[in-house]
Amino acid sequence: MSVRQGVRGVVVGMAWVVATMSAPGAAAAAETFTGTATVKTAGGATATAPVTVTVDRTMAQPEADKLAAAFKTGGAAGLRKALEGVAPTGSVQVGGGAKARARITIERATDKGRLITIVTDTAILHLGAGLPDAAKKEGYDFAVLDLEVPAGGSGSGTLTPAARLAIKGGAFVVEGYSSEPLRLTSVTAKK
């Protein structure tokens, strides 16, 4: 993905409420989601790239709770330690870039279909990092993806390709490296 004008590294907060999600047991069959990621820069330029997400399994609530507790007590380092030995849950790929291993995948039912939250343990892209006044990349070493998948038709979502995880006011918060998350459109699922 090529972005000509600057998206500055500022904090963007999106709630990541792992502890309150109602996650079903492990997924029975792998699913692949495809869509288009779009970003609009502060200068008005727009860039798009295809996104492919593979979900091999979703996490059962006790597994998600264990990871949430590790993060609450030990921060990012505690979460990384708790992820040792935990099988990846799938992958996320933007454009022709490398596939990032999904380490946490949680699914919950909504009134319109499903909400799937995916966390990778590596950043996918530090959007705007090449700019002269770009923020430092240190600490933005996760990626967070939320997919809203309706019962029928195409879905949408957001991708924070370089994120810092935090807890504020008792809730998980995603702080993005870039000023805006990537918007995902035309998200379709196939088994």
Q: Is the pLDDT of residue 76 over 50?
A: yes
> Total domain count for the chain?
1
Contact at 8 Å (CB) between 155 and 147?
Answer: yes
Instruction: Indicate the pLDDT class of residue 6, thresholds 50, 70 and 90.
Output: very low
Whether 21 maps to a domain, the answer reads: yes
Judge whether 41 lies within some domain: yes
Q: Is residue 2 situated within a structural domain?
A: no
Contact yes or no for 83/59 (Cβ under 8 A) = no
Cβ-contact 173, 181 below 8 angstroms: no
Rounded distance, CA 1 to CA 65, Å? 35
* Domain-embedded: residue 107: yes
Burial class (CB in 10 A: 0-12, 13-18, 19+), 165: buried
Residue 72 maps to a domain: yes
Give domain status of residue 92, yes or no. yes
Residue 137 falls within a domain, yes or no?
yes
Range of the domain at 40: 13-190
Residue 6, domain member (yes or no): no
Q: What is the mean pLDDT of residues 123-136?
A: 82
Model confidence over 13-58: pLDDT tens digits? 233 333 333 444 444 579 999 999 998 876 778 889 999 999 999 9
